Amino acid sequence: MADYIEISDAEFEAEVIKSDIPVVVDFWAPWCAPCRFVSPILEEIATEYKGKLKVCKVNVDDHKEWAMKFGVSSIPTMLVFKDGEKVKLPCASALKIAEKFSVKPSEIGTICNDRNIKITRCQLGCFN
């Protein structure tokens, strides 16, 4: 069983905004190849930081409300929330991707482009 939580628009406030621990929210869709690339890394993070960090996934095909509120215009987009507020720092998923490829978080876009995976720094919302 996965340690991440798939949530709907109706569950977003309770699971993310009102969470007592930091939350990484992955805005994704099943048809999105870069989303599938990042998914196992997010699952690993959810397991490794269970109880300290929550990982929530929002399928933007089915649940658009919060993606629109936060200006998500491309996927995957990962945002980090702490105390109900979006924070601007490298999220655990970006750090884990960087660790996996032995690069700085700012180089993730280059690594993905080298492998024809269409992820850019701006899509990892934690860098915005």
Amino acid at position 109, single letter: G
User: Catalytic residue at 32?
Assistant: yes
Which token pair is 54?
Answer: 């929550």
Residues whose CB is less than 8 angstroms from the CB of residue 99 and which lie 6 or more positions away in sequence, other chains included: none
Determine the length of the chain: 128
Q: Residue 114: how many CA atoms within 13 Å on its side-chain side?
A: 6
User: Catalytic residue at 35?
Assistant: yes
Task: Give me the active site residues, please.
Answer: 32, 35
